[in-house]
Chains A and B, each alone.
Chain A
Amino acid sequence: MDFDLTKEQEMIRKEVRKFARNEIAPKAGDLDENEEFSEDLTRKMGEIGLFGMFVSEAYEGQAMDYISYIIAVEEIARIDGSQAATIAAGNSLGIGPIYYFGTEDQKQKYLPKLCAGEGLWGFGLTEPTAGSDAGGSKTTAVLDGNEWVINGSKIFITNAACDMTMGVTVQAVTGTRDNGKPEYSCILVEAGTPGFKAVPMHKKMMWRASNTAELYFDDVRVPKENILGKKGDGFHQMLATLDGGRLSIGAMGLGGAQGAYDLALAYAKEREQFGQPISKFQAIAFKLADCAMEIECARNLLYKACWLKSHHRPFEKEAAMGKLYCSEVMNRVVNHAVQIHGGYGLMKEYNVERFFRDQKLLEIGEGTSEVQRLVISRYIGC
């Protein structure tokens, strides 16, 4: 067994940490408060190479291994969940499907700009009436001559309604399979296509500096070639995309837990009550010890899942476990972290309340905790 990261992975961590501390940390509070997506930060993240991390150089990606990508998301999430969401969704959901399933033309057309962080791409799966039941989605695409005609709507779609958005991948019903169930395909729709509307969603509790959209398709016509891969591959593509996506959500849980723990440990060592730092009281020290232990476990589990993926071994069960465990660890850690901060933990000035809010999404997005348990239970033969 070898628990050491490679020198490059260590350097990625060091450089991303420095970037996050210097560039993101000073702005994270205000962007969250104002519910503002920062194009400036997104472009800066693109400049250092945070988009297209696992994409080959042929499409101007950064050609790094999957653990490096996960470490980068973890380090950003350690400072700010919103920016980590932009990166995780940009890579796993925006770039990933085009890179893994797109035609050569599609890859050449979109990936260089997306990998440079000059544009963003959304992944439209969830619908107002189809969340965990992804098979119940109602958006349709019908072939009319040489064009797909798309109708329907999507909701909670990250990176899909800002000025940098170049388009979205939309999963739609394109027919009926032999077993009578709907057939799904994924289709690429560029921003600005007539009939396609992307509306930013506001009043979010968490990830307030991340761009979230509702998408409306009203007789949207796109060329036949805009189908991603083959007709009927949509459901498989969606599942494969989510398996990878889970690792990045896991990284957000891990990084967020680490960030909240960092804040709590520092505060506990500074805050004095009854004549000594509160970190000296067993009630506080044991909470911090539990946090440190759980974060360690979460990191080992998540990195192992990434290692399996990197070695082209089955990783779906471990990805579900990693996503579930990391997000629940972050839940417990942020809860302790706010408690350790006492009254100040409830104030925006002490960033820990932002971590407390940002955490909740992780148990809901990209497969709820209940869905993860369902996935794991099937893998273990229940």
Chain B
Amino acid sequence: MKICVCVKHVPDTAATIKIDGETGFKDSEIKFVVNPYDEYGVEEAVKLKEKNGGEVVIVTVGKPEAAATIRSALAMGADRAILVTTDSQFLDASLTAKALKAAMEKDGLPDLIFTGKGSVDTESFQTQYRLAHSLGIPVVNEVSTLSVDGKKAVAELEVGGGDKQVIEMGLPCVIGATKGLNEPRYPKFPDIMKAKKKKIDEMTLADLGLDASAQGVTLEKLEPVPERTGAKMIEGSVEEQVTELIRILKQDEKVL
């Protein structure tokens, strides 16, 4: 069984992002990691490989620096990787999905595809759906339990209120992994050493016949979240306080 895991190179959520120019940020100063939700996908794929044999291929669309993040996924037990290089950290989901599809088609379509339920940087939660749609195969997102048996996959997902939905589908399909699916392993040191010898095939969007400027959505501007300003205490009688509050909401904050 060939399994592809789509892995995104994202800033560590604990990192302090400093915006640089209109749509960039100072990425040389911060630590990048495997998108945490994708890690569940990598772990599940490696577990399936350990059980049934086969091959796990990491597929990443990102800046050339993403190779370091890919090595982490390879150290967890994936066999090799494909990196489609781009100039920007922010690529819209439709172009990302096209790039993933083209890379997989070039390499040979897999029997199963994992993604994370979303990425922690842009949080658009679309790539898995767009990828599955373009390949014409089923997709289930936020999967917390999975079994794969011969030609079918059975996925469970939480639907709120303690209820679970159980979905059976044919292979190939796309599984959006989330917390609960497994406990991603810490790579053993010898595996980290072995990871550097594993192959990463690099190609550009143009190599895959894609145009980087043909994005459905383009990023216009990044702005920092405004710093929390000090709370205001409104003094006076209840009536005065309410009057003042309504005035502030209408005139100063313009929310009424």
Contact = CB atoms under 8 A, between A and B. Distances in A.
Contacts, number: 48
Given A63-B193, A64-B193, A11 B71 contact: yes
Given A63-B193, A64-B193, A11 B186 contact: no
A62 interface: yes
B198 interface: no
Contacts of A19: 186
B181 interface: no
Interface of A: 7-8, 10-12, 14-15, 18-19, 23, 47-50, 53, 57, 62-64, 68, 275
Interface in B161-204: 186-190, 192-193, 195-196
A349 B92 CA distance: 43
Given A15-B186, A19-B186, A48-B187, A10 B192 contact: no
Contacts of A18: 33, 186
Given A7-B71, A11-B72, A15-B75, A63 B192 contact: no
B109 to A, nearest CB: 31
Contacts of B186: 15, 18-19, 23, 47-48
B68 interface: yes
A38 to B, nearest CB: 16
A15 B189 CA distance: 9
Contacts of B196: 7-8
Contacts of B189: 12, 48-50, 53, 62, 64, 68
Contacts of A57: 190
Contacts of A7: 68, 71, 196
Nearest to B32: A14
Given A18-B186, A62-B189, 16 more contacts: A7-B68, A7-B196, A8-B192, A11-B192, A11-B195, A12-B189, A14-B72, A15-B187, A47-B188, A48-B188, A49-B188, A53-B189, A57-B190, A62-B188, A63-B193, A64-B193
Contacts of B152: none
B75 A11 contact: yes
